[in-house]
Structure 1
């Protein structure tokens, strides 16, 4: 089965075609906020215009606008092609790539776990720690930098939110700034690519519904 993967949850915009467990085509660009303008042309430039039997999309957490752009495109293509659509989360994707890229280490000091720290909003970061099999240590959390620094502790950390953790960003600290890449979806187990195609925001909305005004006393 050929799968089109869409990744727009951060400043990166990337797409990939995966067929029979192999990445057959990919594109990856740093676009900042230009996902809406670049995504469809990137898909169109893939073999067969990106046509696939299934569409897989990053549902977050990440950029509010980026996540929604990706999901809208995924749903639209799936509807037009008459194929299925599902989601995956940016956090285990980044963790999977980090585990793949880890250099050999001294077994006496090697930590088998990784913390993913992704840029959130309003001065917070999304943080979640994973074991090598991508099982999470806990639910993802949106944390202030000080709290995230404590939560990360001595774990190796990756993600695009590390600049918020100033104390963990010193040279030679083992910290690596990383953006998700659609082609890395090939590293995810099936259970992590079967999420509903709807956003994971990772934090409560800023706007709260207004309460009804009490009835006037007559």
Structure 2
């Protein structure tokens, strides 16, 4: 597509199941998301086929977590499969970066803790410093709510689930509680000089942060 916008297929299944087409002009061209999904693999494949019927992405971005083993694996494996099939590069981006990007895009500044559901009565937590540039100042890590001291501004489902312990989230809309592929893709398109660590392109190694619940039989 000479002279045209580069199209990215973004996939995130760290919490919600979400797929999107994002272009290099900063536009989300299409997005399909189901929040609090349990059957990520069943949702993601058909959703990708729907939004890519008339479009061939030039690269694939996958959210690498932190997130639970089963859901995270589904999105990453699907992304790798599509990238191989299309013959395009694939990169990973921290899923929490998508929520930090949304916060920054809506004018939130200062220290912000993103916390998402890690199950087992724990949360995944990352703290960012949002301003003219963005940096990660703590995490990502998995922690009990009682052991987390969040920043004054709190984003993510972890604060919805454990509000009595951690305090209420700054925003409660679905898009502020679980990462979406649209925000993940936009985050990855951002100019590195403006956002520093936010949206850094990584490999596709998942950030499980702990061993999976289901262990292979010996």
TM-score, normalising length: structure 1? 0.80
1:137 lines up with 2:142 in the alignment? no
Give the gaps of 5 or more residues in structure 2: 1-5
Could you tell me how far apart the structure 2 residues matched to 1:206 and 1:28 are? 25
Could you tell me how far apart the structure 2 residues matched to 1:134 and 1:71 are? 25
TM-score, normalising length: structure 2? 0.80
1:156 lines up with 2:153 in the alignment? yes
SS, match of residue 53 in structure 2: helix
Cα RMSD, aligned residues only: 2.4
Give the gaps of 5 or more residues in structure 1: 104-110, 210-218
For 1:2, which of 3, 7, 27 is the aligned residue? 7
1:19 lines up with 2:23 in the alignment? yes
Determine which structure has more spread, i.e. the larger CA radius of gyration: 1
Q: Is the 8 A contact 1:96 1:134 kept in 2?
A: no
Number of matched residues? Answer: 196
For 2:203, which of 192, 196, 209 is the aligned residue? 196
Could you tell me how far apart the structure 1 residues matched to 2:152 and 2:106 are? 16
1:97 lines up with 2:94 in the alignment? no
Paired position in structure 2 for 1:216? none
For 1:41, which of 46, 67, 81 is the aligned residue? 46
